[in-house]
Structures are given as structure tokens and as C-alpha cells.
Amino acid sequence: MTQITEGLRSTHLSLNHRCTQKCQMCERWAWEDHPANQAREILSELEIASLLKDLKKMGLGKVTLTGGEPTIRADFINIVKHSLDEGLHVGVVTNGNLLQRKILRLEEIEAVKSKQFQISISLLGTESATHDLNAKVPGALSKARRAYTQFTKH
């Protein structure tokens, strides 16, 4: 039997089941309407902060914030801060549609400007016709590109 000696290195933390897109290859957006998922958030901000502390004690080095779409949450910036305050490397998987609204607040966090923070913007095609069709949202690729451009110029 293999013994785990190094602790938990990395985890994905789903912040919600809500999304701004209805991507053809993803079923997450459909979960929002399921009766078991009627709560707006899976865990509260305080529950997440407590969980991050516990996971850090277990040796966690990186948390990747996912969803649905994690940036939908009003407390998304606070959750990023909690994660960074625990000394964790933070990844965010996003479609980029709401990211532009959050970028200025993210940039106020010094660690966001370091290698401790990373954003992954999902692209579903290189042309709007393909990306927007797959996302089922007109203008989705344009929003993702603007978010990428704005985030990388700082």
C-alpha cells in the first residue's frame, strides 16, 4: 500500500453551478436549475475561508477556482484574497465574460501581479462564429479577448 507523505498539493474548488454561457460540451449550466442546487452558492465566503485554512494545514499549495463561472460571485475578489492570504498559488478558470468588471479590483491585490496568480480563459474557437456558437452567447469571444488584453497589459 502506498503511503501519502507529502500532503495535498493542489485542488479545484467549484464556487457555484451558475454560468453566463451554455456551452455545448458542458453540462454545468444545466445544474443550476436542479432542485438540489437552488442555493446561490455552494459554500459561503466564510466556509471557503475556513476550508482554505484547513487545506493549507494539509499541505495544499495551489487552489484553482472554477464553477460554473467563478467570477459571477459577488464575493469572488474576497475569495481570491483569502486564497492568496493563505499563501496559496491561485488559478482561475473563466470564460472571461465578466472578467473585465473584476480586473481593476484584482489588480489592487499585489500578489495578483506575481506568479502566485494565474487566469485561464476558455476559448471555444478562434473565430467568433465558432466560439460564440459553441458558447451559445453572441459576442462571447469578443468579451474573452477584451478581458485577456486588459488583464495582460498591466
Name the more confident of 53 and 115. Answer: 53
Q: What is this structure's pTM?
A: 0.86
What is the pLDDT confidence band of residue 5, given thresholds at 50, 70 and 90?
Answer: low
- Looking at 9-139, list the stretches that DSSP marks H as alpha helix, in order from N- to C-terminal side: 28-31, 45-57, 76-85, 99-107, 128-135
Beta-sheet strands, E only, within the chain: 10-14, 62-66, 89-94, 117-121
End-to-end CA distance of the chain: 48
Other residues' Cβ atoms within 10 Å of the Cβ of residue 104 = 10
Domain boundaries, the chain: 10-152
Which of the listed CATH numbers 3.40.640.10, 3.40.50.10440, 3.20.20.70, 3.40.630.20 matches domain 10-152?
Answer: 3.20.20.70
Q: Is pLDDT larger for residue 82 or for residue 24?
A: 82
* Owner of C-alpha cell 500532503: 7
Give the pLDDT confidence of 21-66 residue by residue, as tens digits: 888 888 766 666 666 555 666 899 999 999 999 999 999 999 999 9
